[in-house]
Structure 1
């Protein structure tokens, strides 16, 4: 089964599909132990690759190279890739989609923001005129063969959100995402407007959207849930705490407990990225 077809099948199944945001190869290696689907987060990639906020610094060749390394290590996981606004130009967006599909990406998310762009859960977002975005989306859809395409709007006004959601649902995009949804009631309204088109919900710690469980989201009609930054934020907190302890203990490393991570545990995790690639069969995420 092709990667796009595999993700599309999961999205159309009776159960909600969770995708975990990763920011580098190590976070992906950890997340792959727990989930079948990964989300290559623009927020996380901008932070890890550039040390910068997610406001438009990502260069598409860097993202393509990252996805290539991911697919080599994780041949059977779903890989949904955030391509922001398609790197501004519609022709570039189509080219990047073809590159990613050739490398084995499962899907992409294309947003309707205009530059300077922002994380979907912060203030100050601006969107392109709807027709301009739809032209870019149409080029991306015509460039893909099997890749799942998520059409995303960052509109913030209630009526405009519903207008754009309805328009996106009428395209050939596989899934609709309204980023920064602020309530369960809004999800219900969006679900009604888009009909039977699959709906994706994005939640981020400290973001605009409510904290909802997978069963709660499923009951609201959500088909896909992405978690943009759990690995990134957990890493920041854990590293900060570890270095505070190290400094407090005058540079003496802590005793490695039964559930701790040392050389052996880390190598075991990384060696799976070699052995997994040599496996010739198995379910998605095996």
Structure 2
């Protein structure tokens, strides 16, 4: 299966490609009903798998195991994986890329942060010297066979953002991401310096980037939009509300309504992930 080619072809198409951030198999099951692609978000995975913030706790075998489960359940979805800084060493980054490609990931995002790393939309980020990051990126690019590689910079100073964006655009990376971009004007500036290189925009509720619709992003020259946390934050809100209501009603469950979920609805969602129900062949480019 050429999952990288399938994602690469969609990114090169005329319409912007949205990828929804998922944090576990259940959120992925719901996302797959609405969108054709998923983003395996470091923020969401760190929260779900460890109960910790996204500041470098993720171990690469855990993310590989998660992606393997996703691919088995969702053979037709694009799976773009956040691999942070490649787990520090270039050799580890290449090993992880080989593992992910072997199990069917569509692509990875490799950032230029140095440890201790931070979520791209919080303060305190530090970046590697550009030459060090480019060396790591080139090794990853030489390692991948079909996998889409997104080169990401977390630079925060305006001249450095543009310097790094221009340098990344000269590599063989398939897509470029400037994370935490703060304005529409800065999207235009980045678009200008990277030429024809596909551009990715990351949106996160309460983050540093503006809230922009897909048509507006496409008009700005953005090719891919990732939504890191809509499922995670919606779950946190809904769980808090449900438990407040349960406590307020002395532990009596609410009546099932048209908008609420009961056991039959949940089972129906999960049963669709069983491999024997994947009756249609996976249509991927040869």
**TM-score greater than 0.5 by the shorter chain:** yes
Q: Contact 2:22/2:229 (CA < 8 Å) preserved in 1?
A: yes
Q: Output the CA distance in 2 between the equivalents of 1:277 and 1:56.
A: 37
Q: Output the CA distance in 2 between the equivalents of 1:11 and 1:277.
A: 28
Deviation of 1:260 after TM superposition, in Å, equals 1.6
* Alignment deviations for residues 84-139 of structure 1 (CA, whole Å, 9 cap, x no partner): 00000000000000000000000000000000000000000000000000000011
Q: Output the CA distance in 2 between the equivalents of 1:188 and 1:97.
A: 31
Deviation of 1:283 after TM superposition, in Å, equals 5.7
In the alignment, structure 1 segments of 5+ residues that lack a partner are none
1:101 matched residue in structure 2: 101
Q: What TM-score does the superposition give when structure 2 sets the normalisation length?
A: 0.98
1:5 matched residue in structure 2: 5
The answer to whether the aligner puts 1:268 opposite 2:282 as a matched pair is: no
Q: Contact 2:72/2:275 (CA < 8 Å) preserved in 1?
A: no
* Alignment deviations for residues 194-223 of structure 1 (CA, whole Å, 9 cap, x no partner): 000000000100000000000000000000
Q: What TM-score does the superposition give when structure 1 sets the normalisation length?
A: 0.98
Deviation of 1:280 after TM superposition, in Å, equals 3.7
Q: Output the CA distance in 2 between the equivalents of 1:103 and 1:82.
A: 15
Structure 1 210/66 Cα, relative in aligned 2: closer, same or farther at 3 Å?
same
TM alignment of 1:98-137, pairs within 5 A = 98-137=98-137
Q: Contact 2:30/2:269 (CA < 8 Å) preserved in 1?
A: yes
In the alignment, structure 2 segments of 5+ residues that lack a partner are none
Q: Contact 2:40/2:82 (CA < 8 Å) preserved in 1?
A: yes
Q: Contact 1:75/1:276 (CA < 8 Å) preserved in 2?
A: no
Q: Contact 1:75/1:277 (CA < 8 Å) preserved in 2?
A: no
The answer to whether the aligner puts 1:35 opposite 2:35 as a matched pair is: yes
The answer to whether the aligner puts 1:253 opposite 2:253 as a matched pair is: yes
* Alignment deviations for residues 14-50 of structure 1 (CA, whole Å, 9 cap, x no partner): 0000000000000000000000000000000000000
